[in-house]
Structures are given as structure tokens and as C-alpha cells.
Amino acid sequence: MSVINMERFNKWKEKHETAWQFIMFNLMGSFTTIVDMGSFALFNFWIFTPYRDIAFSWWLIDYSVANGGLTAFLAFASSYAISQTFGFFIQRKTTFKANNNVAKSAVMYAVMVIIVYIIQLYIPTVVRASFVELMGNVIGDLAVKVLNMLISMLIKFPVNKWVIMRKT
């Protein structure tokens, strides 16, 4: 970019800070997505496959064998935990350039992640069987994962921007 275009771009970023952060949140989220999808595939299609025929149920969470059993629960839960830990650090500095108290931010982030975690563990119990019946095991599971990630983004961007990762 030329100097003139770069100046213009920087002015646009300053004027539209939230829009720019939303773009960066999604771009940086792509790296988190790679970590999430990669670890999900590793867990769901390889590491935890011996547990597919074991139903898992706890509170609202019901991973019957039709819902992927313990394999699906462990894969969704593990991949989400790994990706969110990665996401905290990349989003804090790259997207939001937060300089508030990192310990307080981490605690608030953990609370948000746990709430979103429960939502993401519940969603597959409602939609997975239908998705798999319609699309097959692999595409159905990946479609459920993408739905979970969309819901997560719609919750996490505003909470991160206006509550957790602020500039002081």
C-alpha cells in the first residue's frame, strides 16, 4: 500500500474501530477454528472412537449412541477447551489490544467460556441425530461443529469487546 492509502486505511480503522475489531476477531478466529476443527477431528475420528457405543448423559447433556455417545461428548468438549485457551491469548493482544488486568480478564473469559461451553455441549444433543441422518456421520458432525462455532462467535465478540478485553 502506498503511504496515502495506508493513512486513509488507518483513519478508517480509527473511525470504525468496532467494525475493524469484528473483522480481526473473525480473522484471528480462523486460527482458533483450525485448532478447534483439527483437535475435534483428531478426537472424534481417531482418539475417542472406541467410546462411540457408550451413551453419556449428565443434566441437560444427552449424548445417546445416536448422538455420538461418549466419543462425541469428549471430542466436542476437548476441542472447545483447547481452542478457547488458544483464542484468549490471540484475541486479547491481536484483536482487542487489551491492556486491562489480565487476571480479571482471564476469570471473566473463563466464566463466559463455561457458559458457551455448556451451550455448545447441549446443541449437539438437540440437532446431531437429524444432521447425521440428513448428511451422514462425517459431514453431519462437522456441520454441528460449524453451527456451534457460529453461535459461539455471536456470543463471544460482544462480550469480549465490551466486557472482558477492554483498553483502560
Ordered DSSP codes for 4-54: HHHHHHHHHHHHTHHHHHHHHHHHHHHHHHHHHHHHHHHIIIIITGGGTTS
Average pLDDT, integer, range 6-16: 90
Instruction: Return the closest-CA partner of residue 45 out of 69, 64, 71, 65.
Output: 71
Half-sphere CA count of 62, side-chain side, radius 13 A:
7
Q: What percent of the chain has pLDDT over 90?
A: 75
Average pLDDT, integer, range 75-98: 93
Instruction: Tell me: pLDDT of 49 over 90.
Output: yes
Kindly report, residue by residue over 89-121, the tens digit of the pLDDT. 999 999 999 999 999 999 999 999 999 988 988
Instruction: Return the closest-CA partner of residue 91 out of 146, 27, 149.
Output: 27
Q: So what's the pLDDT on residue 3?
A: 65
What is the residue-averaged pLDDT of the chain? Answer: 92
Measured between alpha carbons, how far is 31 from 19 in angstroms, rounded to an integer? 19
